[in-house]
Amino acid sequence: MARRRVYLHPVRWTSLGLSLLEAMHLGMPVVALAATEAVEAVPAGAGVLSTRPDVLARAARRYLRDPDAAAEDGARARRAALDAYGLKRFLDDWERLMEEVTR
């Protein structure tokens, strides 16, 4: 997957697909339906979310034509994924929970 320039996420019914988070962790910009948790998981500048197929197709073509834009948005996607879904955030949350329940 990391050899690809863009991740297309046409899923409409899954709350948050693991493949979406994996692609973001790999530094791939996301082109996704603006549905489910994708709207929360993919921040502005990390890809394109829309309910319009023409907008999604245009975004995918842009990333394919412009590797620099894909790399820049992919880097933002990676930062967002690490901040929201990365191991550090998980461990920090777990540590806070342990401290709270052991007081």
> Rounded CA gap, 94 and 21, in Å?
20
- Residues 31-65 have pLDDT tens digits of 999 998 999 999 999 999 999 999 999 999 999 99
Residue 2 has pLDDT above 90, yes or no: no
Residue spans of the domains in the chain: they are 7-101
Q: Which residues contact 70 (CB under 8 A, 6 or more apart)?
A: 5, 6, 28, 29, 63, 64
Residue 6 has pLDDT above 90, yes or no: yes
Residue 24 has pLDDT above 80, yes or no: yes
pLDDT of residue 103: 87
Average pLDDT, the chain: 94
Residue 26 has pLDDT above 70, yes or no: yes
Q: Assign domain 7-101 to its CATH superfamily.
A: Glycogen Phosphorylase B; (3.40.50.2000)
How far is the CA of 1 from the CAs of 5, 13, 59, in angstroms?
9, 22, 18
